[in-house]
Chains A and B, each alone.
Chain A
């Protein structure tokens, strides 16, 4: 069994003047490991290798990275799904500043998330029990609330690459629509007013990279379309 050839993006600002690719030979013992397991094995060869990880089951969103050219979560991506010709190339999520190795600075991504006011707004006094919501109203949140903020989508989006400071990006917009679609939220017009400029929503060009890479199978492009429909209905 030949060893898996793993090419890893390396950069430590303290010692490296520029990033470089480092080759590792990883003995998978023929198992169909997850990419994260391969990283653990590489880290045993080089203790200094840095990457984020937490839940290792695809719900915390820590280990988003670029695997053989496609963004995804290392912990739920089996080698059989990405490896071609016994070679695996791992790079940090594109478009965000690299802190070290596979760790990127997610500051801009989080800033765009915070900008859409990602929390329920309702000025009505709360009842003594829960606010009622029909199953049909609740169904509208499916496909939206499940986002894990891994940034795979936004960092696969050319519009986000060019204007990460102005375009909210697919992840933030998915959450914007999650609150617009919630029957319990009372800030619809304020939310829409914040989004109607030429960048926040409208910089989406429908490229749909976000849909192609979302590890949770969500569809930000559809949510963006719904926001546009709401803006249109609101303005006309």
Chain B
């Protein structure tokens, strides 16, 4: 242990996606000793897959657009458990953050007047839902995430950010007071394990869609930050809230942007009927994602699905014409040809609701500071720990995220965390140094894998985990099935704790990384399962046959999962925005 190398930074940012790079940029500009630690080269992070755009009231498509309308949509979209102070912050600060991206060079598509192109997305309205469909999603064709991630990486290069690329964060290091003072990390290329000391540790590790068998998420989305925080004993918020994107390509799971429907595409069942007209007479195909996904599953369950097995529906785009497809949706044309063998200019794309986004995560305030609860149930800041992006639950997405809000979340709260940490570092941060035994306890997990001498192997266990989640915690949920799922997960955890890593080599050992990832998938899956079982209502993406209605009396709350005793508690939703009147919960229709 004593011969382990250590590195010291003012701030370490774990994760090189949009949120991490935006936070890093802020800190690098301030001259703080900052490093981004990423298990993949930063431009391989999952932000790169975001397609449709970044939703923000920049008043380009509509000069009268108002961030308050965007905030209304966000709160309503989140089925009223999005924190209204955080939503207010995101929607009002958003334009600044988007213009900054443009100034950094992001190649947004343009309107004829030279302003940023905006397209309609689901759940968008003007005038607090009374003025019809808005077009508020700023886009770079259908490659907005790619353009955004590359722009942020490029600007980090410009500002000389330190990168620890292809390093894997294993576990958090806590001092005797319970403050987070760094992490244990492994250089994947050499296998060297290093103690990274830091005054601020930022979790920008993204989502964990790989807990499901069918997901739009990248193979790297294994919830590493969530796993690390749970093992360190910190609570997770709203983990039952998983978004199923209506249009994952049937069979492959790859995403087809909501922008397709924004540009005029629509869903049809086997009879060729545009069925969303029945479920959401006003917004139709541009209703909230949870609403559209549920409607699709209803169609399939009622025997109106397409294909031999009747287990998917079609997304029709051919009426848009080759020019619009080529100009606005070129990436979708490519993806559809590659993964669905369908040219969208000629035939519809087979799609099915697919796990897409984790609304829950590490609870934070708008500065990215992680939050836990004291013994009396009051919020308490976790010293040294921050989170932003999908790993965090600020919460601006509540029970269902609106399309285009995740990229905005990344840049607004990545930036906010960076600014806050800069200020805190200027004021001076001193935490007790971690003792040797503190470091040792963070090493426990990797040591166990390294010393494993036999047992089940990682791929089989991972498949089983994904199968449990898919079967018991999908679009529609119910008690009996979930109880069974929780039980199976409990058994699986015991097996994973005794699993075997056959390859113990040091150089670029991807098997070791996958083993460490499996632990994190397990943590996320269990938190999800228990939270889903305990939230006895239907709200947003959490939809139960046995509790089909929203229950505002008992559940107008965040859920808070405590890993130590696997208990689900509650936390108040914020209804106190600073500059606008709060939005009262109403029945949610589109």
Contacts and interface: CB of A to CB of B under 8 A. Distances in A.
Does a CB–CB distance below 8 Å link A and B in the complex? yes
Interface of A: 12-15, 43-44, 47-62, 76, 78, 99-101, 103, 106, 110, 114, 117-120, 122, 126, 128-135, 137-138, 141-142, 145-146, 148-149, 179, 182, 184-185
Contact of B506 (A14, A52, A55, A59): A14
Contact of B507 (A52, A99, A120, A148): A99
Contacts of B274: none
A184 B43 CA distance: 23
Interface in B114-143: 114-116, 140-141, 143
Nearest to B217: A55
Contacts of A120: 103-105, 154
A51 B219 CA distance: 13
A61 to B, nearest CB: 6
Contacts of A78: 338
Interface stretch (B44-52, B405-413, B475-483): B44-52
A133 B114 contact: yes
Nearest to A117: B158
Contacts of B502: 47-48
B545 interface: no
Interface stretch (B231-239, B508-516, B560-568): B508-516
Contacts of B458: 47
A60 B146 CA distance: 8
B253 to A, nearest CB: 9
Contacts of B48: 55, 59-60, 148
A12 B511 CA distance: 13
A145 B150 contact: yes
Contacts of A106: 41
B112 interface: yes
Contacts, number: 151
B350 to A, nearest CB: 16
Interface in B486-506: 502-503, 505-506
B113 interface: yes
B58 interface: yes
A49 B459 CA distance: 13
A138 B335 contact: no
Contacts of A117: 158
Contacts of B219: 53-56
Nearest to A125: B103
Given A55-B46, A60-B49, A99-B189, 6 more contacts: A50-B510, A59-B146, A122-B103, A130-B108, A133-B110, A145-B150
B254 A57 contact: yes
28 contacts: A12-B507, A14-B505, A15-B505, A43-B459, A43-B511, A48-B505, A49-B510, A52-B40, A54-B45, A54-B218, A54-B220, A55-B46, A57-B254, A57-B255, A57-B339, A59-B146, A59-B331, A60-B49, A62-B41, A99-B189, A114-B157, A119-B157, A120-B104, A120-B154, A122-B103, A130-B102, A149-B41, A184-B105
Given A145-B150, A184-B105, A138 B110 contact: yes
Interface in B89-119: 98-99, 102-105, 107-116
Contacts of A118: 154, 157
A219 to B, nearest CB: 15
Contacts of A44: 459
Contacts of A47: 457-458, 502-503, 511
B158 A60 contact: no
Contacts of B104: 119-120
B467 interface: no
B334 interface: yes
Of B40, B503, B507, most buried by chain A (CB within 10 Å of CB) is B507
A170 B102 CA distance: 26
A interface majority secondary structure: loop
Contacts of B530: none
A142 B326 CA distance: 11
Interface of B: 40-41, 43-46, 48-49, 58, 98-99, 102-105, 107-116, 140-141, 143, 146-147, 150-151, 154-155, 157-158, 189, 218-220, 252, 254-255, 331, 334-335, 338-339, 457-459, 502-503, 505-511
A31 B102 CA distance: 44
A47 B147 CA distance: 35
A100 B506 CA distance: 10
Nearest to B100: A126
A13 B103 contact: no
A58 B508 contact: no
A130 B110 CA distance: 11
- The 9 A-B pairs with the shortest beta carbon distances in the complex, nearest first, are A120-B105, A132-B114, A130-B102, A119-B154, A48-B503, A60-B44, A100-B508, A119-B158, A126-B103
Contacts of A148: 43, 48, 146
B338 to A, nearest CB: 5
A145 B339 CA distance: 23
A59 B505 contact: no
Nearest to A147: B150
A130 B511 contact: no
A61 B43 contact: yes
Contact of B505 (A12, A61, A141): A12
- Pick from A43, A120, A141 the residue with the most CB of B within 10 Å: A120
A133 B40 CA distance: 33
A229 B300 CA distance: 57
Given A99-B507, A184-B105, A146 B44 contact: no
B43 A50 contact: no
Contacts of B151: 119
Nearest to B111: A135
A55 B49 contact: yes
Contacts of B147: 145
B455 to A, nearest CB: 13
A103 B508 CA distance: 8
A185 B151 CA distance: 14
B107 A141 contact: yes
A58 B339 CA distance: 11
A145 B459 CA distance: 36
A130 B103 contact: yes
B335 to A, nearest CB: 6
B143 A146 contact: yes
Contacts of B40: 52, 54, 60, 62
A10 to B, nearest CB: 12
Among B58, B114, B151, B158, chain A packs the most CB atoms within 10 A around the CB of B114
A55 B511 contact: no
A167 B391 CA distance: 40
Given A120-B105, A132-B115, A50 B509 contact: yes
A125 to B, nearest CB: 10
Contacts of B113: 132
